[in-house]
Chains A and B, each alone.
Chain A
Amino acid sequence: MTTMMAILIGCLYAAAIYMMLRRSMVKLLIGLILLSNAANLLIFTVAGLERGVPPLIAKGAETVVGGSADPLAQALILTAIVIGFGVLAFAVVLLHRAYEVIRTDDMNEMKGTD
């Protein structure tokens, strides 16, 4: 399964970078969303894929019995998803505001300093 995930993540990265290289700022935004998904999946896959063993400890037990998925990677991704959403929300509003002021969504016309 790791092999398939690796291919999937590669495609996600390629799509994200291609979109971020476009001149339209809406496409830039879409690229950003793809990129954050790709990064999360990357961490998830590299930490090891395990089926059906969530890091939950049964009642009465001191620790997990048998194997468990890596809880640290999950915690990191959880944080990353939320932060990613924060960044996205900010970017969406920023770009919208920029469009209101400059009346263009072409990144080529947004290279001035003021």
Chain B
Amino acid sequence: MLNVVLSIFLLACIAPHLYRLLGKHTGLVLALLPATLFIYFASQLSAVSQGQPLLQSWPWFPGLGIQLSFMLDGLSLLFALLITGIGTFILCYAGQYLQGHPALGRFFLFLLSFMGAMLGLVLSDNLITLFVFWELTTVSSFMLIGFNHEDSESRQKAHQGLMVTVLGGLALMTGLIMLGMAAGSYQLSDVLQQDLTGHSLYLPMLILILLGAFTKSAQTPFHFWLPNAMAAPTPVSAYLHSATMVKAGVYLLARLQPSLGGSEVWLLTLSAVGALTMLTGIFLASRATGIKKVLAYSTVMALGTLTMLLGLGTEKAALAAVTFLLAHALYKGALFMIAGILDHEAGIKDFEKASGLRKLMPRTTLVAVVAALSLAGVIPLFGFVGKELLLEAVLSGSQWQLGLTAATVLANIFVVLVAALLAIKPWFGQALPTPKPAHDPGWQMLAGPAVLATLGLIFGLLPMLPDQYLLNAAATAVYGQPISGYLALWHGINLPLMLSLGSLVLGLLLFRFWQPWRKLTAVVETLSKAGPEAGYNKLMAALVSFAAWQTRVLQNGYLRNYLLTTMATVVLLVGWAMLRLEHFELNWQFSDVRVQEAVIFLVLLTTIISAVVLNSFLGVVALLGALGFAVALIYVFFSAVDVGITQVLVETITVLLLVLVLYRLPEFRRLSSTAHRARDALIAIASGTVITLLILLVTASRSMEGIAWYFLEKSVPEGYGRNVVNVILVDFRALDTLGEIFVLALVAIGVYAMVHLRTGAKPVTNADKRLTAEQKRQQSVKGEL
């Protein structure tokens, strides 16, 4: 399975080059790979349906216990088949939909990377690899939503999707690490063997994981990013934002249900959030007029339904969830591609402008009607089977049975309305003029929706087909135990059927009054100004202004402020640590001082103080020279002859350099106010005191022998030299010395460049000179005051 995932990423890398070679046929050629993989996964059907998950593992970071391990059980297989199957059609479709787009090669790159990431995600048997693939889907989704990156709105929406899902991803990572810690293993197959609902970390990890899943699967209140993600080209919406990526959150919940599900809080949170999302989504769908918007909101509704079903956690709910998921992927994929066809072949993006296209696009009409009937849950389509199971699961749920059933039926009424909009509005009735001459698309674009819609019909007529080979195994993986239920088209006349029929009638009635309904609920437009999206925008604006504020404060452009902050922090932290020391012993003795050392000490002290207070430049340079030579004497006194010699040499050159270069600079001026000077002096004295104390502490409590003995011992036998310092420099630490030579060479080049290469320097204009002269006069006036 590693090869499967890698092959897609590999193809993604060469896709742009292939596009240059193959031109407009690229999509079809690229589709060969997912088609092959689909066949590979389909060949695993019988083994997996017997209840034998396929496990494969490669070491990745063996030291950290992270393995590239893959697991193929019913749930993974269901997703893998959807990803490769729909992916095949999407590639064919996109090749024609975006034909001639200058960046089509890049588009294939992103789309295939997404496919690889999504496959990796559903096949991962390791929590860490799962997370890596999870984030890869986020990144590739960002690239795809922002594909038309010249459009600022597109960029903004891509950014929004990224921020929301990355935020959740961050929470998810923490949650998954907690999960791994709680289970004692990062292998999913190990984790799933354990029931972690009683673990002390259960609640925090559940919250974090749910945050990740809810943001990814656009649950309320994070639902707003999904309709906005429709800024992506339609093939992307059809693939990522209906059939695959947004279901990653649902996948995660379904995957972890055996370990985390079943508790009161799981049931409560998932059912409540799921039901709320379901109602929010479908309500907003019934109000929208953009075809893609309607589909996006109804996807939000489907994701909510799935979350609710997973929350129930019963055997029936597990079966209903996987069935509903498959049915939804089939009809929603088809409907999205039809929305794309309407846009591409007739220039229609809005329901209000579409009518009577049936004669011009007969084949598209047929496919759209079949898919929409499945969405509505009309017998004998697969959507009907899904909806029956959904109602049965909700009715047999243990708690809030009534509330959830009412919510589901209510949602279903609106689903019928949406389905009717899709099945009737653009096709039947009086023909309206279209922006482009309408016609049926080529087979590459029609094949996908046609096959998906037909599958919806076949699976509806023969529900035992998907049940036996796939859905039973998938539901088993979700439930954690073998499932006894089965799929059937006809359950007899019972309560779910009645509810289903009732919602059908009411939904059609509502369709009749669609426009009045939209007017009636127009108040939502004003309400949405205070909705989650507005909150998100405010949060982002606040984040940006906070960043600007803290940059202004911290990066204020004054070197001395940086220095002041740094030193104050050091003084406070080190001082605080010193105060907390239990054993505070200072090396405080003057008895061993010799006369010559005391003289040098006094000389140095005088030099330092004079250098600070003296107001003449040449005087200070002379003092610095004196200071340097006195320091050299200290080195010589205390057995560091070589250092002393070097210091004398360097000090001589330094004084020369300072005199030669700096005599052209102005004399010292008094620039700071007295208050500033006092503050700086305070900080400086505090820093000096801390350093002194630090030295006294360290020298009093030296507990370990240094490594000097090594160099003293090895100098002659290994370095063949008797001056140990020299041997260290040119032998033991020769690389350091080489680095030092490099630094000096760089300095030489830099100095040469600054002195001799004067091109590009900004000449000082006369106006500038006048300005600085004016400033100087002002400052000297201030100084006199």
Contact = CB atoms under 8 A, between A and B. Distances in A.
A67 B100 CA distance: 83
Given A23-B560, A74-B643, A4 B593 contact: yes
B708 A68 contact: yes
Interface string B670-698: 01100000001101110111011001101
Contacts of B624: 30, 33-34
B642 interface: yes
A57 B716 contact: yes
A85 B657 CA distance: 10
B590 interface: yes
B768 A59 contact: no
Given A33-B624, A50-B638, A6 B695 contact: yes
B557 A13 contact: no
Interface string B170-188: 0000000000000000000
Contact of B661 (A9, A28, A42, A92): A92
B662 interface: yes
A19 to B, nearest CB: 7
A71 B731 CA distance: 13
A17 B638 contact: no
Contacts of B151: none
B567 A17 contact: yes
A56 B724 contact: yes
A2 B706 contact: no
Contacts, number: 285
B64 interface: no
Contacts of A42: 691, 695
Contacts of B634: 5, 41, 44
B635 A44 contact: yes
Given A78-B642, A90-B747, A107-B560, A62 B593 contact: no
A96 to B, nearest CB: 5
A61 B624 CA distance: 41
A83 to B, nearest CB: 6
Nearest to B641: A54
A6 B691 CA distance: 8
Interface SS of B by simple majority? helix
B732 to A, nearest CB: 8
Nearest to B597: A1
Contacts of B609: 11, 15
A45 B716 CA distance: 26
A55 B712 contact: yes
B227 to A, nearest CB: 41
Contact of A69 (B631, B638, B661, B764): B638
B684 A18 contact: yes
A13 B708 contact: no
A63 B713 contact: yes
Contacts of B696: 2-3, 6
Interface in A32-89: 33-34, 37-38, 40-42, 44-59, 61-64, 68-75, 77-79, 81-89
Contacts of A45: 695, 699
Contacts of B642: 74, 78
Interface residues of A, number: 95
A65 B653 CA distance: 37
Contacts of B537: none
A106 B768 contact: no
Contacts of A57: 712, 715-716, 722-724
A46 B708 contact: no
Given A45-B699, A97-B754, A72 B717 contact: no
Interface in B542-556: 556
B650 A70 contact: no
Contacts of A14: 684-685, 687-689
Contacts of A82: 646, 650, 740, 744
Nearest to B588: A3
A76 to B, nearest CB: 9
A62 B716 contact: yes
Nearest to A19: B612
| Of listed B590, B594, B725, residue having the most chain A CB within 10 A | B725
A92 B657 contact: yes
Given A88-B654, A105-B666, A13 B687 contact: yes
A52 B744 CA distance: 32
Contact of B695 (A2, A18, A27): A2
B200 interface: no
Interface stretch (B392-400, B414-422, B600-608): B600-608
Nearest to A38: B691
A22 B588 contact: no
B395 to A, nearest CB: 68
Contacts of B654: 33, 85, 88
Contacts of A87: 747
A27 B668 contact: yes
Given A5-B695, A78-B642, A96-B662, 18 more contacts: A1-B597, A4-B598, A17-B563, A21-B563, A22-B560, A26-B665, A37-B631, A40-B631, A46-B695, A53-B639, A55-B723, A73-B708, A75-B729, A81-B643, A82-B740, A83-B743, A84-B650, A92-B661
18 contacts: A4-B598, A8-B605, A14-B685, A17-B683, A18-B684, A21-B683, A23-B671, A26-B665, A30-B624, A48-B706, A55-B708, A57-B716, A77-B643, A88-B657, A99-B665, A101-B764, A103-B772, A104-B772
Interface of A: 1-24, 26-30, 33-34, 37-38, 40-42, 44-59, 61-64, 68-75, 77-79, 81-90, 92-97, 99-108, 111-112
